[in-house]
Amino acid sequence: MMYFSRMKTTIILAVCLLGVLLGVPNLFPAPASWVPWRTVHLGLDLRGGSYLLLEVDMKAVIKERLDSLMDGVRQDLRTAQIFYQSLDSQPDQNRIVLRLRDASKTDDAVAALRPLISPDPNTGQPDMSVSSNPDGTITLTLSPAALSRRASGAVEQSIEIIRRRIDETGVVDPQITRQGESRIVVQLPGVGDPDRIKQLIGKTAHMTFRLVDETANPNGGGVPPPGDDYLVLQDRPGEKIAVRKRIDVDGADLTDARAGTSPETGDWVVNFTFNSVGARRFGDVSRANVNHRFAIVLDDKVISAPVIREAITGGRGQISGNFTADSANDLAVLLRAGALPAPLTVVEQRSVGPELGAASIRAGALSLAAGFVFVIAFMGIFYGLFGWLANLALVVNLFLMLGIMSLLQATLTLPGMAGILLTLGMAVDANILINERIREEQKLGRPPLAALEHGFSRAYSTIFDSNATAFLAHVMLFVFGSGPVRGFAVTITVGIATSLFTAWMLTRLLVSRWYVANRPKLLPV
């Protein structure tokens, strides 16, 4: 127990040295750029920043899928000359139900609708089923697998678009990751007030160009005529305008959008460019509708509805609509980044300003220093030499913790700093156990070496059992916790591991070296 081979000694000291080397970068700035200088990541609560948890509206994803499916159904049945009595989507059950006027055509209808089924690109499974029911209705049910693939795709696509939008704002080092089925975590270091970013990611930014139905009377109340929507004007929320449901050109066909000022009026506008498909369609529509109004619709609000003066064939256009420099710029950003596949809602926000973060670091560091001094003083006073050896091990332990956390690129949070302190308090427990044991063994009349041998070996199982349970509790905390609390769990679990090493290996080595050098008649315990 007290014998250390040269090999073992070297390994223990090497691990300690490595730990110190890995831990040191946390205390000083890098001396030169070529030196590998890995430090612990500071959590957003310490460095200041924002954490946003976004939820992708899966109902909207399903609804949109069903809507486009309904379009397909209408078209197919029209081509097959089959007439239906009713056609409804039931988003709760992921299906569309239709009832034919002539029930005898059910088989024909089912056959006509079959081509709408497409196989999954990976598994080859059909993405929905078409079936006729005894009560004469036909249902098209989307398969759960296809839906979850679509939902997953929507989340991935949203992440990509959010990234593009945030990149435009100049936030350094944003982290955008998926969480679970339908959630996205956005971490924005240094952003204490994420208001603008929330506005940017809170918009679907689906832009469409549609013709205005000049015959309808949207402000007289009543339901819009078939094929029309009554949409509000962005600038005058009280006023509605009748817009055709048919989308002539989609915002997805934009290749660029930039904020600028109009040469004639000096107002802020957004200039945009279409790709070739968009340019051709825009040209066709504008040519056929000279002197009619068309509406630029963003997320079901009409930004503007100018009258077409002449055919617009160059694929370029301009949106004007009471913009300020900021709002024109934001719209340009949104149009460039593309539309989100589904609306996003912020379900959790945690923002900390940089000042508060710095104050937390100061408070944490002060507590850490004070706690460290207290523990060291206690050990020195109550356990003498062996206490000081334990203190040396404690310092190494602190470096090892920092080193491992830097290596793992773990995040240090304010609760994490509390975790370090608690670990320091708990780490000396192993030394206390060992020292008490050695003292007892010596009291029983064992000579020094035997007392050390027995002391260490008997304390071992106690140390192991008592740490194992604490370890288990904190692993659970990591699994079920979130955010800063996870940081706490990480520091404690790392701390338990390193303190086992320093108490069990390093102190034992130090004690053994001290014994060999001094050969005392009585141990100072």
Stretch 260-299 residues interacting with other proteins (CB under 8 A)? none
Residue type, 442: Q
Strands (E), 57-154: 84-90, 95-100, 128-132, 137-142
- Kindly tell me which of 53 and 308 has the beta carbon lying closer to other proteins: 53
User: Would you put residue 243 in left (φ > 0), alpha (ψ -120 to 50) or beta?
Assistant: beta
Binding piece for other proteins, criterion CB under 8 A, among 83-91, 102-110, 212-220, 461-469? 461-469
Q: Of 87, 426, 449, 497, which one interacts with other proteins (CB under 8 A)?
A: 426
Q: Which is nearer to other proteins, 406 or 431 (CB)?
A: 431
Nearer residue to other proteins within complex by CB, 224 or 384: 384
Nearer to other proteins, 145 or 470 (CB): 470
Tokens for 381, please give them: 């006073």
In this complex, which beta carbon is closest to other proteins, that of residue 405 or of residue 489? 489
Measure the CA–CA gap between 51 and 45, rounded to whole angstroms.
9
Report the site for other proteins in 483-522 (rule: CB under 8 A). Answer: 483-485, 488-489, 492
The span of 283-291, 307-315, 322-330, 410-418 binding other proteins (CB under 8 A) equals: 410-418
For residue 63, what are the CA distances in angstroms to 89, 117, 129, 148, 499?
Answer: 8, 17, 17, 13, 55
Candidates 14, 314, 482, 516; binder of other proteins (CB under 8 A) is 482
Q: Which one among 109, 211, 433, 511 touches other proteins, defined by CB under 8 A? A: 433
Which of 137-145, 164-172, 321-329, 379-387 is the region at the interface with other proteins (rule: CB under 8 A)? 379-387
Place of tokens 């020094």: 448
- Tell me the backbone φ, ψ of residue 354, rounded to 5 degrees: -60, -35
Instruction: Give the shortest CB-499-to-other proteins separation in angstroms.
Output: 12
Burial class (CB in 10 A: 0-12, 13-18, 19+), 32: exposed
Contact residues for 144 (Cβ-Cβ < 8 A; gap 6+): 94
**441 contacts other proteins (rule: CB under 8 A):** no
CA 414 to CA 406: how far, in whole Å? 16
Token pair belonging to 243 = 């817009």
Query: How many Å apart are CA 456 and CA 512, to the nearest integer?
Result: 11
Q: Which stretch binds other proteins (CB under 8 A): 138-146, 238-246, 334-342, 353-361?
A: 353-361
With contacts defined by CB under 8 A, name the span among 243-251, 295-303, 325-333, 474-482 that binds other proteins: 474-482
As given in the structure block, the two tokens for residue 173 are 């080092």
* 451 lies in the binding site for other proteins (CB under 8 A): no
Contact 284, 301 (CB under 8 A): no
Q: How many residues bind other proteins (CB under 8 A)?
A: 85
Shortest approach of other proteins to residue 466 CB, angstroms?
Answer: 4
Q: Is 330 in the site for other proteins (CB under 8 A)?
A: no
> Is-contact 147 62, C-beta < 8 A?
yes
Is 126 or 425 the residue whose CB approaches other proteins more closely?
A: 425
- Of residues 167, 183, 176, 326, the one with CA closest to residue 259: 326
- By CB under 8 A, name the one of 133, 275, 348, 516 that touches other proteins: 348
What residues numbered 143-182 form the site for other proteins, per CB under 8 A?
none
